[in-house]
Amino acid sequence: ESLGRVHIDQENWQLAIARFNEAIQIADEIGKTQDQNEARQGLALAHLYSDDLSSALQAVKDAAQYDLPQNNHNVLALLGAIALRQADRPAALEAFAAAVQHTEHMLAHSAQNYEALDAKGLAWSGLALCEGPQHVAAAIAAAIAAFRAARALNQDAGIVKGVLRLFDELAKADKKGVLKEVRAAAAGE
């Protein structure tokens, strides 16, 4: 699974897909839920970044079948982003709302969890694109607050690059440019 993440960082999507498929096979053989969840999430990311949305959706749905409380928020935020990219607003709305709930649970255990804060920022960004106009300003404010809190905890270049890569995939569904300020917060600007 780690090799797949390296290939994602290097933007080598096909090698990432191959490594994640290998990781899935091994994880399934040994029956380790954490690896089953995270390898499928990584596979979904690689497919998303290579613009294979149907494969990305299948992989993230597969990841969600393996309950991993410390990663469910990431899987749900990713599911929402992929669903929104496929113009399935109801599924995206449901996934983003669930992601926010899961991040709240994670943050109740540790307010210093920058990964949960990043997932929360992504989920609120998605909700800004899914909900009616009367909710957009509140969702954007919540996304900005979450990303600012995450960047206050961690500004490592690799972390920020990964957050922005996923954010930019979500932003492809932003036809009105409402997420411009949110991206700046995600970047730590």
Contact between 41 and 74 under an 8 Å Cβ cutoff? The reply is: yes
How far is CA 47 from each of CA 3, 166, 185, rounded to the nearest angstrom?
Answer: 15, 12, 26
Say if 30 falls within a structural domain.
yes
Q: Tally Cβ neighbours within 10 Å of residue 155.
A: 12
Say if 159 falls within a structural domain.
yes
- Domains held by the chain: number: 2
- Residue-number span of the structural domain to which 140 is assigned: 87-189
Within this chain, do residues 145 and 107 fall inside the same structural domain, yes or no? yes
Please state the pTM of the whole predicted model.
Answer: 0.94
Radius of gyration of the chain (CA): 15
Within this chain, do residues 46 and 92 fall inside the same structural domain, yes or no? no
Within this chain, do residues 124 and 152 fall inside the same structural domain, yes or no? yes
pLDDT of residue 134: 85
Per-residue pLDDT reduced to its tens digit, 84-110:
999 999 999 999 999 999 999 999 999
In this prediction, residues 136-158 reach a mean pLDDT of 97
Q: Cα separation of 141 and 145, whole Å?
A: 6
Share of the chain above pLDDT 70, in %: 99
pLDDT of residue 3: 84
**Which CATH number goes with the domain that contains 4?**
1.25.40.10
In this prediction, residues 21-47 reach a mean pLDDT of 96
N- to C-terminal Cα separation, the chain: 31
Say if 11 falls within a structural domain.
yes
Counting Cβ atoms within 10 Å, is residue 18 exposed (0-12), middle (13-18) or buried (19+)?
A: middle
Residue 2 has pLDDT above 90, yes or no: no
pLDDT of residue 1: 64
